[in-house]
Amino acid sequence: MHAGEERLMVVGEMPEGLDLLVIGAGPGGYTTALEAAAQGRSVTLVDRAGAEGIGGTCLLEGCIPSKALIEAAELRNRAVTFADSALGFSSGPVDLGRFQAWKGGLVSRLSKGVHGALRKAGVQIVAGSFTFTGKARGVIELGGESPPRHVEFEDAVIAVGSAAVQIPPVPFDGATVFDAAGILALTELPERLAVVGGGYIGIEIGTALRKLGSSVTVVEAADTILPGMPAGAQKQVARRAGRLGIELLTGRTAQGWDGRRLSIADSSGATTAVEVDAVLVAVGRRPATGDLGLAEAGIRVDASGLIPVDAGFRAAPRIAAVGDVVTGPALAHKAIAEAKIAVRSLCGQSAALSSTTIPLVVFSDPEVAVTGLTSAAAEAEGLHTRVVRLPLGASGRAATMEAAEGSVELVVDTETDAVIGGVLVGPHASELIGEVTLAVEMAASPADLALTVHPHPTLSELVQDTAAALLPRT
């Protein structure tokens, strides 16, 4: 037993020695496992679902399934609007059962791909629930009649992700009230859907289901949808939602559900009811750290359930934590970046996450992508900036897509003449934001972007044109 551990061993608990233990098989977990194996570590990956859980919420229930639904919904919407006007094409009713079969095959294929990479790297995958019993010890409950495995590790990484937050007035029941994973698994389209929560998850899924034919009402406690996103982007998404027929009830909270009516209250306390067939509750996620026995490992969490870590993502001398369980946005690409740093740190290398910015993307309609500092954030930091925003209507490529809602905004620090941020709103903003993120990371000037030849006709030209508008006139 290591110094400082006071827990008494019980006969039959002689621990099995492990080198590097990874808890959780989501993007942070499987990236940790692959990086550690590449460093020559012997890796054991523990997940409640074992090999079936590889990919975690992101691949199995969240990011990939939701983007599959969004893509299918957008294709249908364009078929019945754009293609109808251009080609006289019309679309029949939606078969969600067929979609689920396609989505299931897609998710399975991607998960098996990651599983194959882990297997090739020599990672041992264990199906079970892990709980710490000491600073370098724990137990893996295997379920069924299998005896638990008591283990002692050299190093460990916590990558257990997060879980959807429930609200007492409208608890999940799996029949009429769903979290995002539940709504994405439906085989029949709800005729009328209420979305409680107008953040990115609620807006993404609500918009997709509206395009597939559901009547959608969004209930958001804040005064606007997409709280925390730039005001200009909020307005553009709200306008588009209105054109799609989505009812946005901001400044309201859900008060109860009787199986047919969702009661809501405004800021004055006045209540009304919305008749719907199903409710999606998407009010946020909470770190899944509650049942890990972290106190036994000498780790404390904050009021939100997050684990404090140092620059190398160490929560304790031999334990690191990455992804949704540490501070910052709950994003797969953030977890992946943190996992690489955590492995190097545990392997004795000097490592810290040096990225200037982590891009944020909402797959709404239009898409929203933000990187670096917004103009408001820059001003709050005392920076002197120049800001230029060009409308999507200036793009010939956007015209061919019949995409009118959107803009490109760049923020430049006048003292350094460097691009320090950008807000993109429009089709494929999620793809275009990489160029602006690279510009921020490299402290590129507007001239660097403006003088880089972009292909024509493309949406990327609007980034170039916006940068050109920031150049001094001669």
Would you please indicate which residues are annotated as catalytic (active-site) residues? 456
Judge if the upstream peptide bond of residue 446 is cis by omega within 30 degrees of 0: no
- Whole-angstrom distance, CA of residue 467 vs CA of residue 407: 13
Which residues, 6 or more positions from 160, have their beta carbon under 8 angstroms from its beta carbon? 23, 24, 26, 29, 287, 288, 289, 292, 324, 325
Report residue 303 CA to chain centroid gap. Answer: 21
Judge if the upstream peptide bond of residue 366 is cis by omega within 30 degrees of 0: yes
Distances (CA, A) of 174 to 34, 278, 279, 359: 35, 10, 10, 33
3-state secondary structure 400-455: HCCCCCCEEEEEEECCCCEEEEEEEECCCHHHHHHHHHHHHHCCCCHHHHHCCCCC
Residue 459, class by beta-carbon neighbours within 10 Å (0-12 exposed, 13-18 middle, 19+ buried)? buried
Report residue 337 CA to chain centroid gap. Answer: 14
Distances (CA, A) of 99 to 46, 69, 105, 365: 31, 8, 10, 21
Q: What is the DSSP letter of 168?
A: T
Please provide the size of the chain in residues.
474
Q: What is the DSSP letter of 284?
A: -
- As given in the structure block, the two tokens for residue 33 are 């496992």
